[in-house]
Amino acid sequence: MEKIVVKGVKELKGEVDISSAKNSILPIIAATILCSEPVVIENTPKLEDVEVICKLLSGLNCDVDISNVNNRLTINAKNIVEMDANAELMRKMRASFLIMGPMLARFGYCKLSLPGGCNIGSRPIDLHLKGFKLLGAEVIMGHGFVEVIAKKIIGNRIYLDFPSVGATENIMMASVFAEGTTIIENAAEEPEIWDLARFLNKMGAKIKGAGLGKITIDGVQSLKGITYTPIYDRIEAGTFMIAAAITNSKIKINGANEEHLRPVIEKLKECGVIFSDYKNDSVIVDGRGPKKPLDIKTLPYPGFPTDMQAQMMSLLSTVEGVSVITETVFENRFMHVAELNRMGANIKIDGRIAIIEGIPKFTGCQVKATDLRAGAAMILSGLVSEGETEIGDIYHIDRGYVNIEEKFRNLGAEIYRIDI
């Protein structure tokens, strides 16, 4: 067991390099199942979730090799076998369910344990299964598992009741080899959807409209091996933007795509943060000015991301006045409120609405990372707390942030990891 210890209050300065996007790399790794030639993924982030999905593919007889020198991941799924995926690994991470689409496309069969992940609310797989059925698959639900069988994948028009990222990705991958054309309507528009489509198209797929809400996939016969670099992690970049704001600091962030981060940037500007010198996916963030309270509603992209809600709540807890956050995506994503209140925050919950009254300062204490993004919020709050903050359950943080303590230390923060 380990803890992260943060000692506030420190001004940050310098620059930070953002890693590749966790939410891009996971579906891209799953998509390598579709190809019988080696695929090389550059700048692969060293994350717990990446390790889990790589072990999952290894268990299916894929050759998986990652270089510790240059973070180059090589996957060869030529000898992949049609078998049940490791149940324990499936329960560790929800994104493991993304192997179902490519397995169905390549073998016409897949059986998986129901997925796990952060306990942030209900994330049913019904939209994934609805898409598979419309592509011609039979779906069998058992006690703790789901099985899909298809003699042939046939293109169809699929309307998603909600623009689910995972369902959009899974259906898109399942459709790559389909007979005819598949159209996904009300598809998720997140940048990670576009990135997956770009990866598949580079391998030889024919996908149009990714990131625009309506995706068209013309089936192809096969895909070829390629070398690919995923997009930067917009959530990690947004976390460091908030770090500059909450610590009243000025830092440079390398790996911040302005277009992908537009909803976060605009809200931080409204709060009083200044952004300048956009160049080659880098930006200077100046959070030294006075801050204003905000009203925020989380929404599917291009709305304000639910994955930034906890971090923004940390910031707004330090801003004089009353802010309001409405969480519309996940019904159980306020678990970090109790931890922030332990540190002195004044936050009240009414259903899916959080009412935040700014306080002069946080006080360091023992808290826990209730989920991945909540863990980041605890670190941000610790940076501006009087005294020392000890954060437990940090395995959540390791699922989505690469060397987060080192990156903050390089900016001048006093943060380290201890064994307990």
Q: Over the stretch 143-187, which tens digit does the pLDDT of each residue have?
A: 878 899 999 999 999 999 999 999 999 999 999 999 999 999 999
Nearest to 343 by CA among 326, 359, 355: 359
What mean pLDDT comes out for the span 25-34? Answer: 97
Residue 158: CB atoms within 10 A of its CB come to: 24
- State the pLDDT at residue 121: 42
> Is 169 within 8 Å of 196 (Cβ atoms)?
yes
Is 125 marked as a binding-site residue?
yes
- Alpha-carbon gap, residue 191 to 237, rounded angstroms: 14
Whole-angstrom distance, CA of residue 39 vs CA of residue 227: 6
Q: Find out whether 22 is annotated in a ligand binding site.
A: yes
Quickly tell me which residue has 């030529």 as its tokens: 78
Encoded tokens for 26: 């996971």
Tokens 């900016």 belong to residue: 411
Supply the pLDDT for residue 94.
66
Mean pLDDT lowest among 11-15, 96-100, 274-278: 96-100
419 is in an annotated binding site: no
pLDDT of residue 84: 64
Cα first-last separation, the chain: 6
Beta strands in 242-321 (DSSP E): 250-254, 274-279, 282-286, 295-297
Q: What is the pLDDT of residue 264?
A: 98
22-228: same fold as 2-19+232-419?
Answer: yes
Is 294 marked as a binding-site residue? no
Closest CA to 44 of 66, 61, 16, 27: 66
- Distance CA(319)–CA(314), nearest Å, equals 9
pLDDT of residue 388: 96
Residue 160 marked as a ligand binder: no
pTM of the model: 0.93
Provide the mean pLDDT of the chain: 93
Query: How does strand 385-392 pair with strand 366-368?
Result: parallel
* Contact in structure between 254 and 16 (CB atoms under 8 Å): yes
pLDDT of 85 over the 80 cut: no
Phi and psi at residue 86, to the nearest 5°:
-55, 120
Instruction: State yes or no: 126 annotated in a binding site.
Output: yes
* 40 in a known ligand binding site: no
Q: What is the mean pLDDT of residues 226-245?
A: 98
Cα-to-chain-centroid distance, residue 368: 20
Q: Which CATH number fits domain 2-19+232-419: 1.20.1290.10, 3.30.70.260, 3.65.10.10, 3.20.20.140?
A: 3.65.10.10
CA distance 101 to 175: 8
Residue 98 is assigned to a ligand binding site: no
Give the CATH number of domain 22-228; options: 3.65.10.10, 1.20.840.10, 3.40.220.10, 3.30.1490.100.
Answer: 3.65.10.10
User: pLDDT tens digits, residue range 293-317?
Assistant: 999 999 999 999 999 999 999 999 9
Q: Is 56 left (phi over 0), alpha (psi -120 to 50) or beta?
A: alpha
Burial class of residue 163 in the structure, from the number of CB atoms within 10 Å of its CB (0-12 exposed, 13-18 middle, 19+ buried): buried
Beta bridge partners, 386, equal 363
Q: What is the pLDDT of residues 95-124, one digit of tens each?
A: 678 999 999 999 999 888 776 544 444 456
The whole-number average pLDDT for the span 16-40 is 97
Work out the average pLDDT over 218-232. 98
* Domain parsing of the chain, residue ranges: 2-19+232-419, 22-228
Of the residues 35, 62, 110, 118, only one is catalytic, namely 118
Structure tokens at 60: 């299916």
Instruction: Clarify whether 118 is annotated catalytic.
Output: yes
127 is in an annotated binding site: yes
